[in-house]
Amino acid sequence: MNPTAAILIIGDEILSGRTRDSNMHFLAQELARVGIDLCEARIVPDRMQAIVRAVRELSAAHDHLFTSGGIGPTHDDITADAVAEALGRPLSVREDARAILQAHYDRSGIPLNEARLRMARIPEGAELIENPVSAAPGFSVGNVHVMAGVPRIFEAMVASLLPRLTGGTPLLSQSLRILRGEGEIAGPLAALAADYPDLSFGSYPFQQDGAYGAHVVIRGADGARVGEAMTRLAALFPEDRAG
């Protein structure tokens, strides 16, 4: 069994429609590559109670919880406080985190003021996640990995973090583009899927230039089984494939 994971995205700006999240999709692709199964995603607003509850539920239900957003210097950045409360750990300025910030701001000639120092508050027992973009670190505490919301920083933190997590078997997938309506594909596909309980069969319809079709995706850990099922699928729809 692969390790399981959830992602929690924190931010009013996503729920209000102002910003379109991209971190979920990025993380989903990275986790698939290393064999960690992303099982749930949630987006909650910048409100303490909502974050605390989601952190508790998701960290208890999965091997890993990744969070995105709310670790900057402004008053609406409350993720570190919420994660510390959810896990019952004290939160305070940590010297190694402060030193990272001090060095970063010294280089830029910018004072490490009270607001910026908030970014050095780390829950007890956490391990820092390096931020090569803007210095202020993320952190892993228990099975919760707390990262920034700005996509460039989130992506850099994921790159810092993933090598120290134990992955599983990457899910392999093959897909077939079939130029028939899903209503034609459904019957034969269900019968085929019943022969391969170890694989997952998904059908994703599209409509293009007036023609109906579907991408059928077969996923599984065993490449030979995926390939065998795909060969049978292709034989069921020999003249309908395209591209």
SS3 assignment, position 185: helix
Q: Which two tokens stand for residue 55?
A: 């952190």
Q: Based on the shown chain and the rule CB under 8 A, indicate whether residue 45 belongs to the binding site for a copy of itself.
A: yes
CB of 20 to a copy of itself, least distance (A): 4
Q: Based on the shown chain and the rule CB under 8 A, indicate whether residue 217 belongs to the binding site for a copy of itself.
A: yes
Name the region of 70 (left: φ>0; alpha: ψ -120 to 50; beta: rest): left
Whole-angstrom Cα distance, residue 8 to residue 24?
Answer: 9
Q: Based on the shown chain and the rule CB under 8 A, indicate whether residue 12 belongs to the binding site for a copy of itself.
A: yes
Using CA atoms of 138, 141, 146, 152 in order, give the dihedral in degrees to the nearest 10.
Answer: 40
Q: Based on the shown chain and the rule CB under 8 A, indicate whether residue 150 belongs to the binding site for a copy of itself.
A: yes
- Per CB under 8 A, the segment of 42-50, 88-96, 137-145, 226-234 that binds a copy of itself is 42-50
Pattern 189-208, a copy of itself, x by CB under 8 A: xx--x------xxxxxxxx-
Q: Based on the shown chain and the rule CB under 8 A, indicate whether residue 40 belongs to the binding site for a copy of itself.
A: yes
Q: Which two tokens stand for residue 52?
A: 């605390």
| Under 8 Å between Cβ of 135 and 100 | yes
Cβ proximity to a copy of itself: between 103 and 204 the closer is 204
Cβ proximity to a copy of itself: between 134 and 160 the closer is 134
Q: Which strands sit side by side in the sheet containing 172-178, from one edge to the other?
A: 172-178, 211-220, 200-208
Of positions 219, 221, 227, 236, contacts a copy of itself by CB under 8 A: 219
Whole-angstrom Cα distance, residue 137 to residue 209?
Answer: 48
Of positions 10, 185, 199, 229, contacts a copy of itself by CB under 8 A: 185
φ, ψ at 191 (rounded to 5°)? -65, -40
* Binding residues for a copy of itself (CB under 8 A): 12-22, 24-25, 28-32, 38-46, 50, 72-76, 110, 113-116, 118, 133-134, 150, 152, 171, 173, 181-187, 189-190, 193, 200-207, 214, 217, 219
